[in-house]
Structure 1
Amino acid sequence: MDYGLSLGGLHYNIVLVIMAIIILLCLCALVIVVLSSYAILQLITDNKYRHLPPGPWPLPVIGNILNLSKLLHRSLAHLAEHYGPLMTIRLGTSLCIVASSPSTAREILQRHNSSLCGRNPADAWRGAGHGDNSIFVLQPHNKWRLLRRLGTTHLFSPRRLEELQPLRQDAVRALLQDVLAESGAASGSLVSIRRVTYVAMVNLLWRAIFSNELDETTAQGLYDCMREAVTLIMTPNISDLFPVLAEADLQGVRRRMTTLLPRGYQLIDRQIDQRLRARQFGSGNHTSRPNDFLDVMLDMWEEQQQHHYCDVTINRDLMRVFFMDLFVGASDTSSNTIEWALAELLHSPKTMRNLQQELKTVLGSKAQVEDSDIDKLPYLQAFEWTLPEQVERTSVDMTEKFGLVLSMRTPLLAIAKKKM
């Protein structure tokens, strides 16, 4: 009896081992099929886009991820030294074009921005439906053109910038006071240039849009929201590397963005509600209105409701997303630029002394630089991006420039090089 049970147990174990071997062989075969299919697909894709820039040979599935380090800009700059100012890399299954010279970056970001925008955005922008109205994400169609025209005409036009000059001077004075206050708070204390410049830029933009001061509580809430949003957008995300997995949101980046963005929306909604109440009780008295950027948007909203045209629907969702984009883009970019510029100056004492001497010569007894002084500072204007001598200043479609063909869904990156 015991002998029969042993044979039965042995037979059962043999069956399990055979099944395990079969499953293992099936998995190996599946992996081989997947890798072979990927290799064939990559060869077909490379043949289809054979005019793409050169780049490191990608590994199956993961692409060129192993070629990159935590210091992404240094990794890309190192690769650019070998493959040239315009190169192709694959991040997972996503194809990416990297521009690392002034000429290529200028062609992409300035001369042909409208024809090369509308690329695949970071999956994080889809949080809270932000991407439906975001100028960073929209394709270059009617809504995108309207938002861009509004910002260019009513916020960044020469006339409007001239009107906002007193606000900029106030912002600079407040910035200097904050730096002096923080540096004098304790002997040898450190000052976060990024934070103080970020707060100054947000406050300036807030006053330009809403015509009121940004109180400390709102400023801190907006600052925290913007910093977290930028961090989430810049976080390496599996959904961006492998778009087929985007719907699963494996890292939860989109879910966190969905929770985060409404915090910023609430601050903007409060300003919209206050202005709507003021307009309602003002009984149409236009002379008492600030006529700022918010008023421009609200006027267009009311006009659209009265005439019932809807080429592009202007509503609360569009306004608050647009305002949020302005705060994220303008404020973060400016604060980073100032921080890096100061860092480079600290590493170049000679350049710092030349700038200081020029400021003393031009300003004289004035304590602060004004807009009219900038043209008188030639050393400050010493850097300019120009096209190579062999490239004529003609209207060239970037999709055909450099002998390359870029798919409209291929993302583009530009890397700034140190100029000092």
Structure 2
Amino acid sequence: MGETVKVSPMRSKKCRDCGMIKPSTEFWKNKSSSDGLAYYCKVCFGLRNSRAYRKKQANLSKEARPYRRHSDVPEGMKYCPQCTEIKSVDEFGRNRASRSGLTHYCRPCHAKVMAENRNRKHGSARNYLLKHRYGLTEDQVGQMIADQGGMCVICLRSAAEQVDHDHRTGLVRRVLCFKCNGGLGQFGDDPERLRLAAEYLELEGSHARSLVLELGRPVFAGRRYLQEREWWRRVRPASGSREQHLRRRYGIDDADAHWLLTMQSGHCAVCFEFPAEHIDHDHATGAVRGIACSGCNTGMGQFGDDPVSLRRAADYLLGELVREMPSNEGAIRLSFTVPDVDPRRAAKADWERHREADGRHRRTIWVVDDDHEGPTWLSQCLKKIQDSYALMVEELAR
């Protein structure tokens, strides 16, 4: 093996191009030369490379960039070849693949170049994202939306916009609206939690039955309760900001919230799985129903506190909502309502009627005998709760 040539920074050398004698630090290292230095100084070396680059660009009929020395960039600054400006390194993104650890272009130029590349290779940014995330093209998603009649298959009220997929398998399911897609995520894609939420909203779950046994009504408080406690609000001042919030928004105090939490054993009134955190109430009547966990409380809001959508979402996750049916033309079409309706031919004004009929159907098939006392006892219990709540609503209306 040859001996490594060590170059002293105090030495000097004459450049063959410019003829000037310069310090050795102004020359690149070159192991093949006798003194271990390049034949040309760094400035002349750059000019030689520049001439070669310009000749190549001219042969390709392309415009060459103006010559610029890299050493002209001050410390802490970086040159952007897109906008041809020298900027602070803080204006560049991170790129571990590059020697400097920064992107080649500044942030605005980088975003612009990436967008142009996506549009050139994939047609549009949306098409790129669909391919990257779901393996679908924009045309394929458009065909899926057309097969659904343009409607979200769960709520049947909003336009289908967002592709929904199984996060465990990565398989694409259908195209949903923004709220239904977000609601599934809040419930953790759990069909059982969705069914329990539907029963909870209809005051037919075990939490409503517990309130009936404790208070004689399926909800904790309503507007009449709030009106009766107006005098109490004036006489007894709130103990803190939390109690002020509870009184102002729900008409209850810390003692009421503590009673509810104790009655629920600290668990969510909907799923009984996660800790109870948020007071849940009916926005129409003002009735406090219970204390729910963050996921159930937010998820019910995403589905618009609608039991029909919740039950349809549960069947959707189980693969029992969307079915393939033969069309009159002999092809395959989709069906996601009972009675069966061709979504391609359904008028937008008729979806609410189809939705109500489908909701009645799914409500009858998902009655669960969770107390093992038989369907007769359960139906009688549910009827008593419904009658009690109907009387309360009538009193509030009067």
Task: Give the alignment's TM-score, normalised by structure 2.
Answer: 0.30
Structure having the higher helix fraction is 1
Structure having the higher strand fraction is 2
For CA contacts below 8 A with separation 6 or more, give which structure has more relative contact order. Answer: 1
